[in-house]
Structure 1
């Protein structure tokens, strides 16, 4: 470390070395013109180099201290930016003033953004709370509806409830840190919860389910992983006109496979981006590009892996790697 610092210090002082070198050359040339003895020239040159080297070495400890301080400030920029090492000249002082001003502006913008997010979060939280009342009322009214229309209307009401849950999930994932409980969970139990929620849609769209118990235990958060499974099943059902959805283990990886319309190859690298809908989304005007974004975000937080393989007109496979990994701490 010291050797690296010494190299940086000497490089920073390269102009002084150049000045000393030119001074020695000029002095030796003038001495030669005036016929001075070589010993005198060499002795005076040695003293000049020794004096200059002493001054440079005397400044090295100060350079080391300042470098360490700046490294520390870099690692704790938000909290200690005001604790710059003492400026050696007006130029350094001006740079420090500029950096402190920029940090003040950054903090102000961050605070304003945080306030805007809090306002938006409060609004949508209120909206989610209020929308549940008419949804519940519609559910009661459907009990007295015409049996011929009840099934279709129930399915549409279910879609509304799913969209509300997605909004709730989005708001929660923005502050996921305090809202998870990790423990060994039965994977089949979580799969059954997700499948049960979409049972009516399976029946309505006449899509078969190919699922045999996987008999596996995983370290995860039950609520959030069920949410992930529900989102994946929802997408599979949405984009599968006929055929089946299969759920199985492949080399300890959970696979959810559908026989739907598939995803274009050029869309695959971006399908987890927030708001990205791809070609399917441009066809389906109601697509939001939020579902898979939430799925990826939750899987990352839980330390699980996820990737997708798909072929147009043949279907899509979603791979969930639920093996224990390092969790993303928030």
Structure 2
């Protein structure tokens, strides 16, 4: 009913014009003292024919309306080849405009994809090139065991993490990423990251509580390792004394707890937002606002879920729930 009322409102001028013609003829017949039945009868016949024509027009317009509504769910690439049948001249003009816009949109998307791919390729090469001097410096520092060398080794590790974070951020923007799902041993990933960060544990004199569990999950080893490394790095960054505890909870949930400064309640809902550093980040000036954002994005694409529980002054617990069905979510 709403569509019919809108249609009649849009064509109101035509109905008024037709009524005006009848009134003009009736007025002329009246002025010349001619019988009004000579104009009223044809007017009545024309009115009936007009009602039939209007009903048919409303029916055709409604069919076009329904088809246009169905086309709203189509993508740009598909919609340019699906148009209304029996279109009039004006509608064909609009269809041609839509075709041109769809082709231009597709061309722009192709150029953006090529540009993004070139940027990722460039930064991939850049990351590998910058890792060479970082690795070289780390090897030189291993030959010297001193407080300064340990500090420099830790700083180099953080530089490497930030470099890898840049590449990860760019790769997440691509439509396709090199996900390889298979059975992964959590002990293997945890062991590699613990060894990588052992210098920070020693330098900050923090205890590590971890009992191997021989737990396996279906995931992508490289991307899951990045998430775990980020969480462990955050635990080390914001824990000045006490310990970091790694445990496996059922079902297939990795739990990383620390005794650090904690997260304020007002910051917890936003810590996974891009660029959000919260009160801790503002105070320490160490946060980039990307680490946990990337963790959430990667977990979403791996079909995992990441959650946090924290209390100011008592510490933070991060959990990665990996018992869900694995699927890539873009």
Query: Shift of residue 97 of structure 1?
Result: 6.4
SS of 2:289 mapped into structure 1: coil
**Cα separation, partners in 2 of 1:143 and 1:184, compared to 1, 3 Å:** closer
**Cα separation, partners in 2 of 1:323 and 1:69, compared to 1, 3 Å:** same
Query: Shift of residue 225 of structure 1?
Result: 1.1
TM-score by length of 2: 0.77
**Cα separation, partners in 2 of 1:130 and 1:189, compared to 1, 3 Å:** closer
SS of 1:279 mapped into structure 2: helix
Whole-angstrom distance in 2 between the partners of 1:199 and 1:303: 29
1:281 aligns with 2:311: no
Which consecutive unaligned segments of at least 5 residues does structure 1 have?
Answer: 1-6, 31-40
Aligned to 1:314: 314
**Cα separation, partners in 2 of 1:269 and 1:94, compared to 1, 3 Å:** farther
Whole-angstrom distance in 2 between the partners of 1:329 and 1:182: 14
Whole-angstrom distance in 2 between the partners of 1:230 and 1:17: 69
SS of 1:276 mapped into structure 2: coil
Query: Shift of residue 233 of structure 1?
Result: 0.3
Aligned to 2:7: 13
Whole-angstrom distance in 2 between the partners of 1:19 and 1:241: 81
Please tell me whether the aligned partners of residues 218 and 326 of structure 2 are also in contact (alpha carbons under 8 angstroms): no
TM-score by length of 1: 0.77
1:55 aligns with one of 53, 56, 69: 53
Whole-angstrom distance in 2 between the partners of 1:226 and 1:271: 20
Aligned to 1:188: 187
141-150 or 285-294, which deviates more: 141-150
235-244 or 255-264, which deviates more: 255-264
Query: Shift of residue 105 of structure 1?
Result: 6.0
Which consecutive unaligned segments of at least 5 residues does structure 2 have?
Answer: 27-39
What CA RMSD, in Å, does the superposition of the two structures yield over aligned residues? 3.8
Please tell me whether the aligned partners of residues 171 and 177 of structure 2 are also in contact (alpha carbons under 8 angstroms): no
**Cα separation, partners in 2 of 1:250 and 1:143, compared to 1, 3 Å:** closer
Aligned to 2:266: 266
Deviations 1:58-96 (A, max 9, x none): 232464256325523641223433654365464x56755
Whole-angstrom distance in 2 between the partners of 1:104 and 1:293: 34
Whole-angstrom distance in 1 between the partners of 2:77 and 2:175: 23
**Cα separation, partners in 2 of 1:12 and 1:153, compared to 1, 3 Å:** same
Aligned to 1:138: 137
**Cα separation, partners in 2 of 1:158 and 1:178, compared to 1, 3 Å:** closer
Deviations 1:131-154 (A, max 9, x none): 122113212322444645322222
Aligned to 2:35: none
Aligned to 1:228: 227
Aligned to 2:245: 246
Whole-angstrom distance in 2 between the partners of 1:94 and 1:265: 57
Aligned to 2:29: none
Query: Shift of residue 195 of structure 1?
Result: 2.2
288-297 or 106-115, which deviates more: 106-115
Alignment map for 1:1-330 (pairs within 5 Å): 7=1, 9-15=3-9, 51-59=49-57, 60-61=59-60, 63-65=62-64, 67-68=66-67, 71-72=70-71, 74-81=73-80, 83-85=82-84, 87-88=87-88, 90=90, 92=91, 103=102, 106-107=105-106, 110-111=109-110, 113-114=112-113, 116-145=115-144, 147-175=146-174, 177-252=176-251, 253-325=253-325, 327-329=327-329
Deviations 1:217-268 (A, max 9, x none): 3221122112111110011101111111122244523321111111222222
Equivalent pairs counted in the alignment come to 316
